[in-house]
Chain A
């Protein structure tokens, strides 16, 4: 069973490899975004040594790592699923002896791993040349970072699955997928760290699954999260992953029953 998923991951990776030229402009796009927020926040820092517990260098690292990590975990699972539900291809997929959502996630993971190697790594290297980024040197920090990044992929994929499955009940979920993107980007801390928000907003956000997608891994890389708070943040993310996994299972069961495929 596992071998099937590994094969799905491998195939998608190879497909992406064939179209790798498309990614050069992607790297430039992400650098433009990183640059926009970099200049914005450096103007906000002015001569201040620290904002929300981060120094200007830590903030720059946070932004660069955050955007390049987004290249890894970001995907269009929701749209892909919604499209398959709308045009009925989902029926064919359901006939296959592999879990439908499982094969979709495996494909997304293959794509994500491709982007990690050919997008995030060169992108971060360029960002480090352009902006005063200081990456961690301690391998232990990188291990923690990669663990948090894996969790980010899982949580983001689960949220996308839930949004995509909404297409079973309403075929018009374009607006929903769009809103999902905005909400995840803003609340995960991609534009600004959670510690910049007012205390009341932070208290609410900390209990949501979003910070584990961008804030936690980026803060680890910026050197602002270690020890007990790190463990707590990861445990919180894991609990959310378990809750969302149960939710995805529940919704999928109901969706599979409610699904209507016309003709074909």
Chain B
């Protein structure tokens, strides 16, 4: 057990070193990527700012609270993107091109390799901007933090990131069954923006869908609402780790069954 852990930690480190070398070779692209990401986040900030010039509240949520939700929403998304972005390549790179062959003959867990080959540490920028927005908005919303709240916040953020991991791992694994692209990941990606808004702005049926089959409200809205408002959103916040465990378990099951169907690209 400990030896496996030590071995995987060393492997992890080796992957990161290789990754850093590659990125440094193309540092121009890196800067462009970072600037685009900041621009994208700035646009969402502009949208919220303009909205609250017009209205004092968004179905009962103040400006500071809506900013806080947005800040929270950025952090798990950035964590997921940075650490597990490799899931995006499953259909094209590993199934259609058949690179899974290469992964499967190496003596390390295939999922571990797929995830690490797609690491994108520059996405961690979103963690920084998200925390900055949360700190700024939290103060204005009058949130008081004690040390236990910090622990809860970290736990919720990790759970939200795990919800992302579960959803996208399961969707990525559909490529094994379809022997190619299914487009489901891209569709879900468009839907996950719904997680940045206050949870009560959606119609009842949509909220139900976003809490169950595609639980994107757990990547932002619910835990964020609890952190900024406490009380009323507690139940949903505590459900976040449960949903995370369930989606990841389900995704692992789909992944294993999918991998068993993998036959290579035949070349």
Q: Point out residues on A near B: beta carbons under 8 Å.
A: 25, 28-29, 32-33, 35-36, 39-40, 42-46, 48, 51-52, 172, 174-175, 178-179, 182, 186, 191-192, 196-198
Of B29, B35, B50, B198, the residue contacting A172 (CB under 8 A) is B29
Q: A25-B186, A175-B32, A179-B39 known; A43 and B201 CB under 8 Å?
A: yes
Q: How far is the CB of B38 from chain A (nearest CB, A)?
A: 11
What's the tally of chain B residues with a CB closer than 8 Å to chain A? 32
Question: Is there an interface contact between B59 and A179, defined as CB atoms closer than 8 Å?
Answer: no
Of B53, B55, B186, B206, the residue contacting A39 (CB under 8 A) is B206
Among B171-216, those with CB < 8 Å from A are 183, 186-187, 190-191, 193-194, 197-198, 201-203, 206
Q: Can you name 10 A-B pairs with beta carbons within 8 Å? A: A28-B187, A52-B54, A174-B29, A178-B39, A182-B39, A186-B43, A192-B47, A196-B50, A197-B50, A198-B50
Q: A25-B183, A172-B28, A174-B29 known; A44 and B55 CB under 8 Å?
A: yes
Whether B58 is near chain A, meaning CB under 8 Å from some CB there, is yes
Describe B's contact surface by its main secondary structure. Answer: helix
Contacts of B186 in A (CB 8 A): 25, 29
Contacts of A42 in B (CB 8 A): 201
Contacts of B55 in A (CB 8 A): 44-46, 48, 51
Contacts of B183 in A (CB 8 A): 25
Known: A39-B197, A196-B50. 10 other contacts (CB 8 A): A32-B190, A32-B191, A39-B206, A42-B201, A43-B58, A44-B54, A46-B59, A51-B55, A174-B29, A179-B39
Describe A's contact surface by its main secondary structure. Answer: helix
The chain B residue with its CB closest to the CB of A173 is: B32
Q: How far is the CB of B33 from chain A (nearest CB, A)?
A: 8
Q: A43-B198, A46-B57 known; A178 and B190 CB under 8 Å?
A: no
Q: How far is the CA of A33 from the CA of B190 in the complex (A)?
A: 7
Of A29, A36, A179, the residue contacting B36 (CB under 8 A) is A179
Q: How far is the CA of A44 from the CA of B29 in the complex (A)?
A: 38
Question: Is there an interface contact between A40 and B197, defined as CB atoms closer than 8 Å?
Answer: yes
Contacts of A39 in B (CB 8 A): 194, 197, 201-203, 206
Q: How far is the CA of A48 from the CA of B57 in the complex (A)?
A: 11
Question: Is there an interface contact between A36 and B194, defined as CB atoms closer than 8 Å?
Answer: yes
Whether B51 is near chain A, meaning CB under 8 Å from some CB there, is yes
Whether B24 is near chain A, meaning CB under 8 Å from some CB there, is no
Contacts of A40 in B (CB 8 A): 51, 58, 197, 201
Q: A32-B190, A44-B54, A182-B40 known; A172 and B201 CB under 8 Å?
A: no
